[in-house]
Amino acid sequence: MVLLVRPLFRRATLSGACLMSLVGAAVRPSLAAEPAPSAPLIVTGGGVTLHSVNVEFPDPGRMFPGDAKAEAINNNCLACHSAGMVLTQPGLSRAEWQSEVEKMRSTYKAPVEESDVPAIVDYLVALKDRK
């Protein structure tokens, strides 16, 4: 369950401790094992209203196809990206994929070893040929 926080007033502020109290009251640790409620859960307090929403995410167990050729991308990129999200990206040139991988390493601090970058870029470039 994902909780969205929407202040009732534009200038409303809420301390982290107060927000955690509201969230703690709305979500029990055992909720993950329970079926999703049929109606959205709404909790209001302290000038904040929390609404529950149901969200479906891609299968987190899905791996990149290709066995050994996919080893570098499976070992590095699945920590942040689902295979489904990456496999549906538009086909980019080698330079564009190289730039994307370098952006993940430098801007987003992805822990990708320099030695894995060529294999990841090769895999991503080859995706364009499969489409």
pLDDT in tens, 59-80: 666 899 998 999 999 999 999 9
pLDDT mean across residues, the chain: 77
Which of 82, 130, 80 has the alpha carbon at shortest distance from 110? 80
Lookup: tokens for 38: 């049929």
Global pTM reads: 0.55
Which of 41, 111, 17 has the alpha carbon at shortest distance from 72? 111
Which of 37, 34, 71 has the alpha carbon at shortest distance from 52? 37
Confidence of residue 37 (pLDDT cuts 50, 70, 90): low
Q: Which CATH architecture has domain 67-130?
A: Orthogonal Bundle (1.10)
The residues of the chain that CATH labels 1.10.760.10 are 67-130
Confidence of residue 33 (pLDDT cuts 50, 70, 90): low
Q: Residue 53 to residues 4, 39, 47, 93, 120: CA-CA distances in angstroms? A: 8, 9, 20, 38, 35
Neighbours of 7 (CB within 10 A): 13
- Enumerate the β-bridge partners of residue 42: 51
Query: pLDDT tens-digit profile of 102-111?
Result: 999 999 999 9
pLDDT for res 75:
95
